[in-house]
Structure 1
């Protein structure tokens, strides 16, 4: 489900290999386990999906079948976002395809994002699927995007192409599909030489309110 690759120069790549890469409990645990495995050896990190999808976010089928575990489930998602914000490891999301909803927020929890310039979308469709953002999710989006872009993404559910995402400040680069991972590795390698403890300390200070919010309420409230 999660493949680990050593790209050299201290950069490791985590490849999500589960179709739409929705956040099933097994997927979330797999990402956490992979991060544990590379901790101490990696100097920078790239995550990517395969084919059409980076990640489509919450596993709504699992959630609908396990409603009594919804608070635990959302807490696990919050913890994953928070881990990317807190870790002493620079990270780049190589968005090879669709990054929707929770998958888009996973990309935002990285330090930088590279998107494919065609047939890939960034979208936070919660307003259209009647799932309000938790306070932690809202804090993450608002911390990583400009006020104008956060307002538009959260209240309109707009789909951004790669070039549009770069223009809006969501992504750092938009490149052809076959260059997405390579470009992300280049960005990660440029960060790999920095002291991880210092890098992580600076990020934790920058995003302390979002980290605190992700540690708080984890309930998906009905509209």
Structure 2
């Protein structure tokens, strides 16, 4: 489950279990609840602040908990909307947000990183990938809107229609991340960037983000159902 650390006014949210380095940080429904509870905890802390998310080990996040989803397929649409709630929360967070992508970011895990204000990715290890086309999985209305609103059209085509993996250097060239760093320096880079933005915290920032992402937030609020996501067709 996610846990918090702090560097001055920068809150660092680790996506995996404390002390573990092999967690894929997939979005089980219980994990999503814990993630929102951790966001609540950060928001309750008064004073200047910014948020950095990262992980330890091989994965930043491997996205959907497909084992749970296919074992509870009658709840698939509900589950996908719960995943979308993570993206909405980050897009409208009342602090600057920086994703320190320390390892693989696949599928919905990559989309979570994309929902931050800023992204720095490890240059020497890890991939960003949207493998849905290879898995026979459609993008939801919300996911499609997130990717196409945050990337250039050609970057979206390159990733969504091929499922290929891109490392940090190419991700920066495509505009997927803002910067790269080697090894553990990815977290230090993210903290430094976030520390320069701690004074922006507040409702005004929320208002700016809400207007900035208006059409995307409307798409994220679209309920997923059989009409707009016809599985198996």
Shorter-chain-normalised TM-score: which range? Answer: over 0.9
Could you list the runs of 5+ residues in structure 1 that have no partner in the other structure?
Answer: none
CA distance in 2, matches of 1:209, 1:152: 23
User: Which of 29, 35, 39 is the equivalent residue of 2:33?
Assistant: 29
The equivalent residue for 1:99 is 105
The equivalent residue for 2:16 is 17
Judged with a 3 Å threshold, the aligned counterparts in structure 2 of structure 1 residues 21 and 201 are, in CA distance, closer, same or farther, namely same
Write the deviation string for residues 161-196 of structure 1: whole angstroms up to 9, x where unpaired: 001001110011111121011111111111112243
User: Which of 137, 141, 149 is the equivalent residue of 1:143?
Assistant: 149
TM value normalised by structure 2: 0.91
SS where residue 93 of structure 1 aligns? strand
* Matched-pair contact (CA < 8 Å) for 1:78–1:218: no
SS where residue 193 of structure 1 aligns? helix
Write the deviation string for residues 42-95 of structure 1: whole angstroms up to 9, x where unpaired: 621000111000000000000111111112111111111111112211101111
Richer in helix (by share):
1
Structure 1 segments of 4+ aligned residues over 6 angstroms from their partners: none
The aligned length equals 222
User: Which of 86, 93, 96 is the equivalent residue of 1:90?
Assistant: 96
TM value normalised by structure 1: 0.95
* Matched-pair contact (CA < 8 Å) for 2:2–2:14: yes
Could you list the runs of 5+ residues in structure 2 that have no partner in the other structure?
Answer: 18-22
* Matched-pair contact (CA < 8 Å) for 1:2–1:30: yes
Matched, 1:176 2:182: yes
Matched, 1:221 2:230: yes
